[in-house]
Amino acid sequence: MALLEVNNLEVSFGLRSGGVKALRDINFKLDRGERIGVVGESGAGKSVLGFSILNLISNPGSITGGEILFEGKNLSKLSASELRSVRGNRISMIFQDPMMTLNPVLTIGEQMVECLLAHRKIRKEDARNIALQKLKQVYIPSPETRLDQYPHELSGGMRQRIVIAIGLLMDPDIIIADEPTTALDVTIQAEIMELMLELCERNNVALILITHDLGVVSQVTQRTIVMYAGRIIEQGPTKEIINDAQHPYTQGLMNALPQMAVPGARLNQIRGAMPALQRIPTGCAFSPRCDYTTETCRHTLPGFTESGNCLVACHMVAEMKREAAQVASLAQEVKG
Amino acid sequence: MIAFLIKRTLQAMVVMFVISLISFSIQDNLGDPLRELVGVSVSEVEREKLRDDLGLNDPFLVQYGRFAANALHGDLGTSYFFKEPALDVILKKLPATLELVFGATLIIVVLSVPLGVYSAIKPGSLLSRLVMGLSIVGISIPVFLTAIGLIYLFSIELGWMPSYGRGETSAMLGWDSGLFTADGLHHLILPSFTLASIMLPLFIRLIRAEMMEVLQSEYVKFAWAKGISPWRIYFVHALKNTMLPVITVGGVQIGTMVAYTILTETVFQWPGMGFLFLEAVNRVDTPLIVAYLIVVGAIFVVTNTLVDLIYGLVNPTVKLAGGK
């Protein structure tokens, strides 16, 4: 049994202008110790996905369908107190901006100890010792002093280390990291990513890494989920997705990487922009921006096609493959 | 800390200088004190002589210089009506006013925090909407009307509350106070509620608005993700941050409330500074008026300094320093 299994998850936001679906037909599995990357443009629903796992979507959003099975328990059906015993304990989260995640009026120590006391019946001094130990694990210099300091006394990278230490406090099974390096200095980004990878490997923690950075995904994760307009459009082993993306959107994302462009030339981009959630086209949501669009794409929502070890939501996968094979054989002929 | 206090003391001196200049300069525009002082039977020659004796014919700067020099020695002039030092007259009335302000502040603190927090956590509930609706009414009704309404309802119709005066007082630590007698407390209730009625809705709305904003913040979301109890999130994580701006506004408002006591004290015949001030205006008792303005100014300066001190203690990101 997978550690986490998400089936047909649907998340909606009830707005005055009617409800919009921020997530549709989300299906994926996460095994113990597995690291999975979630990529996509801004607004694709990556963060909503991360928050919905712990049922942390704030009003007016809510989970309107499907199930999130964690060790067989459906998280979306748990009572508030049962959910609390999972949050921060079995599954913890790391947020995007360490400048905003820590409460400015509480000391680091208070913010760590309270989490331990919420989940375990231990004395304050013991909790403090565990906190200290976790701070050492994330390589914070002079951790004893840090416990009594306030967040504003520390740098961004340091604060993100503390957020990670808080995430590790209860030795969770899963960490959901929502763009943990986006708000950091480039030089710090690599350090933090390396630290997270090391900690996940050492403690056998599963990781859901939500990010824009395909480079990070390729270094850290084993599997990748590509999202577009609230749906997963492609998922599979990271290596295959990076090297041989099947969905035209994923291909577009890969081509948009700066290293893919000819030096000195304009960078590649996917034309157009992602549709607003209220105005998602019928059929394939990507069809207005896609080079391979056919009539079918405009009218029917593509189901998932297996392609290698990947699942791809595209009508044209077979077509594109055939085309690629033709090109390859043509190239062969030209050579021969 | 000490540097902060020194800096604030210097600032306070400048502020007090400006206040004294302004309050002294308006005395010429309040009417002729002689009319109240001597009555109609005194001849113009005698009046002129009296004006000379009182120094009222001197140029403004000379008058102000004399006033300031005396003020530095703690003498703010002598009340024409009471024939006593104006400062003494006011300080005698100060306890009554401070009691009133204390009562109102207590009501505001005790009611605004829970109501504000509740209506921020449950904005859609019936109670929240009721509180919000009533607070609009509270802000809109002038103080004197609230006072008259309360007197009508609780003193005349129901007969539960006394309608005027301070009631019985007892001396406690050299402070002649109504806080320690049942009768004094009984008399304090209606005026305190009246005085609180202007500020209470303001504070409920302020706390609600701040709290709602804080509840949307990332660190509150993160606290939820840590799995800690809602009680701790609301009252430790959120409320502490909510109170920072509220403390700042609150300090200014406590000062303002001292000024608002004029209306409340007048309606309830409360023997405090505000009531005294209104009488002084009627009698054109200029030294008393000037002294009142200066005392109220000083109260403002002191409360604001105290608020800054408290703010520095509550907010760890603020260090009280004498400058960069």
Nearest C-alpha neighbor of A179 from the set A21, A48, A33: A48
Cβ contacts of B254 within 8 Å, gap of 6 or more? B101, B105, B303
Global pTM? 0.82
Partner-chain contact A114 B232, CB within 8 Å: yes
**Has residue A127 got a pLDDT over 50?**
yes
Partner-chain contact A58 B241, CB within 8 Å: no
CATH number at residue A32: 3.40.50.300
Domain that holds residue A313: 232-263+279-335
Question: Do A198 and A54 share a structural domain?
Answer: yes
Partner-chain contact A56 B221, CB within 8 Å: yes
pLDDT in tens, A68-89: 999 989 998 899 899 999 999 9
Question: Do A34 and A147 share a structural domain?
Answer: yes
Partner-chain contact B315 A84, CB within 8 Å: no
What pLDDT is stored for residue B90 in this prediction? 87
What pLDDT is stored for residue A32 in this prediction? 92
| Residues paired with residue A6 on neighbouring β-strands, in sequence order | A28, A68
Question: Do A202 and A143 share a structural domain?
Answer: yes
| Residue B191 contacts residue B270 (beta carbons within 8 Å) | yes
Contacts of A92 in chain B (CB under 8 A): 225-226
What pLDDT is stored for residue B143 in this prediction? 83
Instruction: Tell me if A128 is assigned to some domain.
Output: yes
Which range among A153-157, B206-210, B236-240, B306-310 shows the weakest confidence by mean pLDDT? Answer: B306-310
Which residue has 């008026």 as its token pair? B289
Comparing alpha-carbon positions, the chain A residue that sits nearest to B312 is A105
Nearest C-alpha neighbor of A5 from the set A66, A56, A47: A66
What pLDDT is stored for residue A131 in this prediction? 93
pLDDT in tens, B60-74: 888 888 888 887 887
**CA distance to partner chain B, nearest, from residue A159 (Å):** 12
Partner-chain contact A104 B316, CB within 8 Å: yes
Instruction: Tell me if A93 is assigned to some domain.
Output: yes
Please, which pLDDT band fits residue B262 given cuts at 50, 70 and 90? confident
* Distance of alpha carbon B254 from the chain centroid: 5
Question: Do A290 and A193 share a structural domain?
Answer: no
Question: Do A316 and A187 share a structural domain?
Answer: no
The number of residues in chain A equals: 336
Instruction: Tell me what percent of the residues of chain B surpass a pLDDT of 90.
Output: 19
Contacts of A163 in chain B (CB under 8 A): 222
* Euclidean distance between CA atoms A298 and A316, whole angstroms: 12
pLDDT in tens, B273-313: 888 888 888 888 888 888 888 888 888 888 888 888 888 88
Please state whether beta strands A35-39 and A61-70 pair in parallel, antiparallel, or not at all (unpaired): unpaired
* Euclidean distance between CA atoms B143 and B243, whole angstroms: 26
**CA distance to partner chain B, nearest, from residue A171 (Å):** 13
Please, which pLDDT band fits residue A58 given cuts at 50, 70 and 90? confident
Nearest CB among A84, A101, A106 relative to B227 is that of A84
As given in the structure block, the two tokens for residue A218 are 């390729």
Q: What share of chain A is helix, strand, coil (3-state, %, to 5)?
A: 40, 25, 35
Instruction: Tell me if A271 is assigned to some domain.
Output: no
DSSP state at residue B27: G
Question: Do A248 and A185 share a structural domain?
Answer: no
Partner-chain contact B224 A119, CB within 8 Å: no
Question: Do A331 and A299 share a structural domain?
Answer: yes
CB pairs under 8 A between A and B: 79
Instruction: Tell me if A94 is assigned to some domain.
Output: yes
**Has residue B322 got a pLDDT over 50?**
no
Largest distance between two CA atoms of chain A: 77
* Euclidean distance between CA atoms B34 and B42, whole angstroms: 10
Helix (H, G, I), strand (E, B) or coil at B321: coil
| Residue B277 contacts residue B3 (beta carbons within 8 Å) | no
| Residues paired with residue A119 on neighbouring β-strands, in sequence order | none
Nearest CB among A88, A97, A152 relative to B227 is that of A88
Nearest C-alpha neighbor of B280 from the set B20, B36, B21, B25: B36
What pLDDT is stored for residue A221 in this prediction? 93
Written as one letter, the residue type at B324 is: K
Written as one letter, the residue type at B317 is: T
Q: What is the mean pLDDT of chain A?
A: 89
Instruction: Tell me if A293 is assigned to some domain.
Output: yes
pLDDT in tens, B20-31: 888 888 877 776
Contacts of B314 in chain A (CB under 8 A): 105
What pLDDT is stored for residue B23 in this prediction? 84
Contacts of B316 in chain A (CB under 8 A): 104-105, 107, 150, 152
**Has residue B323 got a pLDDT over 50?**
no
Question: Do A67 and A179 share a structural domain?
Answer: yes
What pLDDT is stored for residue B324 in this prediction? 35
pLDDT in tens, B140-181: 888 888 888 888 888 878 878 777 777 666 666 666 666 667
Question: Do A302 and A205 share a structural domain?
Answer: no
Instruction: Tell me what percent of the residues of chain A surpass a pLDDT of 90.
Output: 44
| Residues paired with residue A68 on neighbouring β-strands, in sequence order | A6
Please compute the mean of the pLDDT values over residues A102-107 and round it to a whole number.
92
* Euclidean distance between CA atoms A81 and A87, whole angstroms: 10
The chain B residues in contact with chain A (CB within 8 A) are: 216-230, 232, 236-237, 240-241, 244, 314-317
Instruction: Tell me if A274 is assigned to some domain.
Output: no
Partner-chain contact B228 A56, CB within 8 Å: no
Does residue A102 sit at the B interface (CB-CB below 8 Å)?
A: yes
Helix (H, G, I), strand (E, B) or coil at A73: strand
Nearest CB among A88, A96, A100 relative to B219 is that of A100
Instruction: Tell me if A272 is assigned to some domain.
Output: no
Nearest CB among B216, B218, B236 relative to A101 is that of B218
Q: Is the dihedral of CA A107, A109, A112, A115 positive or negative?
A: negative
Question: Do A285 and A187 share a structural domain?
Answer: no
Instruction: Tell me if A268 is assigned to some domain.
Output: no
Element (H, E) at A255: helix A248-255
* Euclidean distance between CA atoms A63 and A319, whole angstroms: 36
Does residue A286 sit at the B interface (CB-CB below 8 Å)?
A: no
Question: Do A154 and A60 share a structural domain?
Answer: yes
**CA distance to partner chain B, nearest, from residue A259 (Å):** 34
Mark which residues 66-95 of A lie under 8 Å from B by CB: 80, 84-89, 92-93, 95
Question: Do A312 and A287 share a structural domain?
Answer: yes
C-alpha R_g of chain B: 24
Total domains present in chain A: 2
Q: Is the dihedral of CA A129, A131, A137, A141 positive or negative?
A: negative
